[in-house]
């Protein structure tokens, strides 16, 4: 067998070993499960019972009076991870099975005091609905998405 034959065998062996390393590596033996939302609530004053248990939630506040204040939301995920919100540069650490409280004062510059934002103001800026989007991340991997829509 000439040099070309040994070179071809060596390349073939490297390819097979590389493929088997990918197939049998510990990373592929345990597939990463997506993050699941166990509970999500929109926080309002006065309090409305608005809860859901999904990664794609819609809350209907269209019948609430303009004076209702939206103060934030709480979210509970099944596993610990970070929730990175889009449109605002904010990351929320989540502990698996525990509610994390996210207040508008923490997300929107210039708001303070915990009073939130009135539905009247939301309706002026967003008309029919507002959507809060984010992604669940752990160790640099995206493990799911969040879309929280509030009908105004």
pLDDT digit string, tens, across residues 83-127:
999 888 889 999 999 999 998 888 877 777 778 899 999 999 998
Torsional class of 123: left (φ above 0), alpha (ψ -120 to 50), beta (otherwise): alpha
Overall pTM surpassing 0.85 (yes/no) = no
- Nearest-CA neighbor of 43 among 56, 65, 59, 55? 59
Q: How far is CA 35 from CA 25, 28, 41, 150, in A?
A: 23, 18, 17, 22
Q: Which two tokens stand for residue 91?
A: 């990351």
Model confidence pLDDT, tens digit, residues 4-50? 444 444 444 444 444 444 444 455 555 678 999 998 888 889 987 66
The residues spanned by each domain of the chain are 1-31, 37-151
- Helix ranges, 25-79 (H): 26-29
């Amino acid at each position: 067998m000439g040099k070309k034959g040994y070179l071809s065998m060596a390349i073939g062996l490297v390819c097979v070993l590389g493929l088997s390393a990918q197939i049998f590596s510990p990373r592929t033996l345990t597939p990463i499960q997506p993050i699941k939302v166990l509970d999500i609530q929109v926080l309002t004053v006065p309090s409305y019972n608005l809860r859901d248990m999904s990664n794609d939630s819609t809350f209907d506040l269209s019948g609430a009076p303009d004076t209702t204040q939206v103060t934030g939301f709480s979210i509970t995920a099944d596993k610990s991870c970070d929730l990175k919100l889009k449109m605002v540069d904010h990351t929320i650490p989540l502990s698996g099975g525990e509610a994390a409280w996210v207040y508008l004062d923490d997300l929107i510059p210039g708001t303070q005091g915990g009073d939130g934002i009135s539905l009247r103001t939301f309706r002026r800026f967003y008309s029919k609905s507002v959507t809060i989007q984010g992604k669940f991340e752990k160790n640099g991997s995206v493990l799911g998405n969040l879309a929280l829509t509030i009908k105004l």
